[in-house]
Amino acid sequence: MTGFDRDYGIYLVTDRGLCGERGVLDTVRQAVDAGVGCVQYREKHASDAEQLAEIAALAEIIDRRVPLLVNDRLDLAIAARRRGIVVDGVHLGQDDAPVGEARAVLGPDAIVGHSAETIEQITAIPGGVDYIGVGAVHATRTKPDHPPELGIDGFADLAARSPLPCVAIGGIQMADVAPLRRSGAVGAAVVSAICAADDVASTTAELVREWDRTSFA
């Protein structure tokens, strides 16, 4: 299955602060065991060495069961691969490394995602992208500088007009999963819904069940 035709399902984006004392590694371990379809490692504050060590540990925990993507940092993804760490791709923002560079370095089988907030950004994304992360669906404390909320209807409109599959992101909670999938999402990226959960395993399993029992648009 390539990045273009993948069902990303419940797509976990990590947040060290929200994971708290449980930590990123144990949170990801429980979430993958419970059925998440993709893990994006997002870390803004640790040193490069700390991030590489954590990516290596995550790759071992995930053990190729689901894709492991690195947020924003193409350089870290490259460095990890050079060390033999299994990293499946990157998710790039509007101001990150060019898509063409990511595709050229990571190869045709890598997953390359790209963020977009508007139809203008969506249509301007160059070839080589597998999916577009569209949001923010709702306001979210994990990204204080988030764009204006799209809501479910706004996401549905952009997904219907996008030439590429769309993963919804931004403040997504349990009640959003079914309507987003019915609106055409190929994945629902969640942060606090899993990272801040009291019981990661049961919360993840419930999110996955909600995704799986909802018919795709």
- The response to whether 137 counts as a known ligand-binding position is no
Q: Is 145 annotated as a binding residue?
A: no
Distance of CA 161 to the CA centre of its chain: 21
CA distance 25 to 200: 12
96 is in an annotated binding site: yes
The reply to whether 191 sits in an annotated binding site is yes
DSSP state for residue 150 in the 8-state scheme: -
11 is annotated as contributing to ligand binding:
no
d(CA 207, CA 195): 13
Check the annotation: does 215 bind a ligand: no
| Residue 71 assigned to a binding site | yes
83 is in an annotated binding site: no
Lookup: tokens for 101? 């560079």
Q: Note whether 18 and 171 are within 8 A (CB).
A: no
**Residue 47 labelled as part of a binding site:** no
Q: Is 8 annotated as a binding residue?
A: no
9 is an annotated ligand-binding site residue: no
Q: For residue 46, which of 24, 21, 74 has the smallest C-alpha distance?
A: 24
The response to whether 143 counts as a known ligand-binding position is yes
Instruction: Determine if residue 54 is labeled as part of a ligand binding site.
Output: no
Q: Is 141 annotated as a binding residue?
A: yes
From the annotation, which residues make up the binding site?
A: 40-44, 71-72, 96, 115, 140-143, 171, 191-192
From the annotation, which residues make up the binding site for Mg(2+)?
A: 72, 96
